[in-house]
Amino acid sequence: MAFLSQILVPSSSSVKIFSVIAVIFLSHNVAAVTPATNKTTRAVFTFGDSIMDTGNNDYIISIAKGNFPPYGRDFVGGKPTGRFSNGKVASDFAAEMFGVKKILPAYLDPKLQLQDLLTGSVLSLPDQLDLFKKYKSKITAAVGNERTATILSKSISFLSMGSNDLAIDYFSTPLRSPHYDIPAYTDLMIESASNFLQELHALGARVIGVICIPPIGCLPAQRTLNGGIKRACYETGNQAATLFNSKLSLLIDSLNERLPEAHLMYLDSYSPALSLIQNPAQYGFEVVDKGCCGTGDLEIGPLCNKDTPGTCNDVSKYIFWDSFHPTEKAYRILTSIIFKGVKI
């Protein structure tokens, strides 16, 4: 459930399967970890999109920003930070679950220090693998080749992939749909995902949790654009997500067999997100089809601003903050389910 943190026009030969955000969490311990123990994480690397961004959009050229009110109204100090939510986002909760820190700074923040790199930060550039290489070089210069190699081999990488490729590029703009049907486009996405995962493995990553596409047809914006007069979930969007997810699961099985020492995990975000939407009362929600900001139908980024006619009074009742991104409460619930039981 995410919107682009930087608007990029993809080439005809590839898709931007991971958008623009990469997040890295680090601690100083050595062995493996599960969220249940939180005692032995060496490093957690997260690649994804705006559900992970903790403020890098402040420092890049982009029309999609979250660094103005009402974004961040429930964050520490009640101020906007570039997070696409009323408060914390998925990367903050993932870092908290693994016992690293409660709030992650943005990598592009000019005040960032080396210690921030060693304890957790969020990175953002269009080519995440190039950024990861630069990060690796910085850490190698600081702590040496041996420790860097250990950090990578004993760590876990989380990848959130594909939502923008379908929700934005395919169903909301004419970038892709005139050229590909859904099966062909999801094949193209899988090819890009495979290349990314193999490159990440070549750079030293071994344990990789791959987060699938949630039910994008139930995003408030997709309901408005494609859900008809009743603003129902756009089932074609959900079916496309399900098709991609099935291919992704097979890809992960294949890569586990082919790549040495690889341990790739398929992490289901579709089922828990759909459960929130279909059974809101079970999780303490009431509003599932609108965002808290403005009308809740289409507002996002620059359309969700201080001049928007109001935000909801009780955000705890809402799954979505704007028409694409979850509220802090929804982020907390979803990350606790998706990452539960993950093992290195």
What pLDDT, on a 0 to 100 scale, did the predictor assign at position 228? 96
| Rounded alpha-carbon distances, angstroms, from residue 307 to 69, 80, 123 | 9, 15, 30
Q: Residues 33-49: pLDDT tens digits? A: 344 444 444 667 778 77
pTM (predicted TM-score): 0.86
Active-site residue 53, yes or no? Answer: no
Q: Residues 265-293: pLDDT tens digits? A: 999 999 999 999 999 999 999 999 999 99
Give the whole-angstrom CA distance, residue 207 versus residue 158: 9
> Given 50, 155, 157, 192, which residue is catalytic?
50
Q: Residues 8-30: pLDDT tens digits? A: 223 333 445 444 334 444 433 32
Please return the burial class of 113, using the count of CB atoms within 10 Å of its CB with bins 0-12, 13-18 and 19+.
exposed
pLDDT at 214 over 60: yes
Active-site residue 325, yes or no? Answer: yes
Which of 195, 146, 145, 284 lies closest to 15 in space, CA to CA? Answer: 195
Q: Residues 83-97: pLDDT tens digits? A: 999 999 988 888 788
> Given 27, 163, 322, 323, which residue is catalytic?
322
In degrees and rounded to multiples of 5, residue 124 shows phi and psi of -150, 120
Give the architecture (CATH level 2) of 21-338. 3-Layer(aba) Sandwich (3.40)
